[in-house]
Amino acid sequence: MPESRIRLLLAAGSLGAFLLIMGLEIATENDALSIKDIAVDALALLLTIASAAAAVLLCIRVEQQRADMGRIVSELDQARREGAEWRAAVDHHVEGLKGAIDQQFDDWAMTPAERDVALLILKGFSHKEIAGLRETSERTIRQQAQGVYRKSGLSGKNALTGYFLEDLLSPEETRSGAKAPNGDLPARVNA
């Protein structure tokens, strides 16, 4: 039932209860009634009914939030399951890519430090960030990065990233050997 309809029913029920109780109060009063007594009794009664209605609305809202939370938790569990399935499905591809990158680094005769720097560059880190992660100076990282570019024959960060990602991110027809949008054959860099 929509919350607006519940509020309307509560308001109608509260008004009915108020009128009934006030009528009983007036009918059963033995002393002479004054406007002040009626006003005080009405105010006390209104506060009591309003508190009860607010408590009912609060309980309804808490139940709705519990239901929403249950739905969200269920959706989150589903997303986690789908994510785990996706990771399991692509895990062998990721391992193959890692192996291909390692092999290329071996072919380029990179030092362990150059490998680390190259991998962090591929992950998108800046020289400053890499220096912080490796606890070394930014100047050292720049020198190691220059060694990576020199040994690979590539011109910089973008060329290094493009070397490994070009075929992964290109449109399907360029991967299959079709002409690129500008009419040229795609330049595939082979290891």
Q: Is residue 127 pLDDT above 70, yes or no?
A: yes
Per-residue confidence (pLDDT) for residue 92, from 0 to 100? 81
H/E element, 186: none
d(CA 116, CA 135): 13
Per-residue confidence (pLDDT) for residue 173, from 0 to 100? 54
Quickly tell me which residue has 């380029």 as its tokens.
108
The rounded mean pLDDT for the chain is 83
**Strands, E assignment, 96-180:** none
Q: Which CATH class is domain 108-191?
A: mainly alpha
Residues 6+ apart with CB under 8 A from 94: none
Q: Is residue 191 pLDDT above 70, yes or no?
A: no
d(CA 145, CA 120): 10
Write the pLDDT tens digit of every residue in 12-22.
887 888 778 87
Per-residue confidence (pLDDT) for residue 189, from 0 to 100? 45
Write the pLDDT tens digit of every residue in 58-102.
888 888 899 999 999 999 999 999 999 998 888 888 888 888 899
Q: Is residue 132 pLDDT above 90, yes or no?
A: yes
What are the structural domain ranges in the chain? 1-90, 108-191
